[in-house]
Structure 1
């Protein structure tokens, strides 16, 4: 294995978002997503991020760690097989240990088997799978009436705290921790691409019982659902199916001719989206290691 000499490292800054986005180079990872990750309140850029450059200033590697629990790392394709991935992995593990974490996880694209091999070679084990699902929308989809007794409206300013509480309650059984409001908001409703006009809330009287939150991503013909959650008391009443169909209609009328959403194996929602006609287009795996 030939190692890369003379690499320089430094923490990331918010101004590095575009360069990191180019390094990742995946169509399903938007510049907005990278910018949002860098701005997460819980990330200390000076402590939790690492950029690696060649002597001529080319960015060839990057890694970050969130709360000592989750990491991401990417290496430029032309610089793989030279030890840089292992170097970034060592940074993420040292960071997690310093944060007092006893376990670290990382997601990898299933189209990148070399990344999975690197993780397993360092003691990581496969724990979960995520899927990106897509539905083509050549014609405007029909939307059923809301479930009996429920009303719906678009997201409004000031809805954030109530929506956050519902989302975190809905996924509490599937996540190891609750996101606080500042962290959640930065990643969803405070993003530059958050689309309140494409996001729908369902109410039973004054009670919020379901939410669908969408992003309006540039340079794509697809709508993107960021969150879909239903209160546990209202599951099995077609609230989620209605919100999903409403999202399809809204993004079509907004000029998009398809809609996509990520879902996680822990939620058991893959079949729900497939029954709505969506098909898996990509998948990723979550690997975890005890530290």
Structure 2
């Protein structure tokens, strides 16, 4: 068995595996990191708990929280097929980021991982430089997009400067996409979770590395403490689920977050994705959240859809990957 994997920290800092009592403080650290980059916290409460619910992740071995001499959380990290490392503003430039990267890479090698990834906001130039100096290479671009209903919620009309984003005809007077007669759209109801999970897994099969079991998926969606059922919209025909948005309340009180947009492959390019986005923008507007945000990345090919429905890029990030020497050891 490998010995304990403890990061080598600057003098005065101490580390320990993440415990449930640490979660609120880690959430606050993440919010501070987001405020520094964008001026506001972006994700809602519960994201740390959802990350720790990943199947196969062992908190005692795969997570670490770092505290300063006063006991304040200064950084945290986890690793499980990918890794997240975050250092609180005010504690950077002291070697904490490098120490946590060393810890993550050591743990990844212990379990035989052949590569490790880190996602870094492009505005955090210092973090990008650090990763590249350690052999990480950019692989995929991620974007955070937003839609603002400052002038009222959107209509279902296509953009005036071109055709609908996904090649669809204009929506009909019934409010359903004209290319899909008989489709109805309604908010999430208790019991919809399994069908919604199956739709998302089928829709994401072409680009995600693995299918996610229901408990893991639910921790980030319908079981998340910020789940927004009124803004989670399902498109159905004859009781069959064709597409959906899965939404959360953001930590910013004026924002909603679309965690997932999924349309079954057999029902794409008929205007359904555009229609669901517009309906979700309106749902969040009615909830007093005039800004709707979502994330996407270059592997999905969905950026043009979001730009054509009126969304704008708020910030971008880069997924960096490093190849590791294979050295499998038991957990």
Deviation at 1:140, TM superposition (A): 2.7
Q: Normalised by the size of structure 2, how large is the TM-score?
A: 0.82
Equivalent runs, 1:116-265 vs 2, <5 Å? 116-138=128-150, 139-143=152-156, 144=171, 145-147=175-177, 148-265=181-298
Greater length-normalized contact order (CA 8 Å, ≥ 6 residues apart): 2
More strand by share: 1
- Shifted more, 87-96 versus 214-223: the winner is 214-223
Q: Normalised by the size of structure 1, how large is the TM-score?
A: 0.93
Deviation at 1:41, TM superposition (A): 4.5
Residue equivalent to 2:74: 60
Of residues 93, 96, 109, the one that matches 2:121 is 109
Distance in 2, Cα, partners of 1:246 & 1:256: 13
CA contact (8 A) 1:21 1:29 kept: no
Pair 1:140–1:80, CA change in 2 (3 A) = closer
CA contact (8 A) 1:153 1:202 kept: yes
Q: Aligned-residue CA RMSD in angstroms?
A: 1.6
Post-superposition, which runs of at least 4 consecutive aligned residues in structure 1 deviate over 3 A? 38-42
Residue equivalent to 1:74: 86
- After superposition, what is the alpha-carbon deviation per residue over 1:66-108, rounded to whole angstroms, capped at 9, x for unaligned? 2xx1100111232322222111001111221222221111111
Deviation at 1:218, TM superposition (A): 4.4
Deviation at 1:134, TM superposition (A): 0.9
Report the structure number with the largest CA radius of gyration.
2
Distance in 1, Cα, partners of 2:109 & 2:215: 24
What are structure 1's unaligned runs of at least 5 residues? none
| 2:76 is aligned with 1:46 | no
Distance in 2, Cα, partners of 1:112 & 1:218: 21
- After superposition, what is the alpha-carbon deviation per residue over 1:177-229, rounded to whole angstroms, capped at 9, x for unaligned? 11111111111110111011111111132321101111123442022111101
Aligned residues: 287
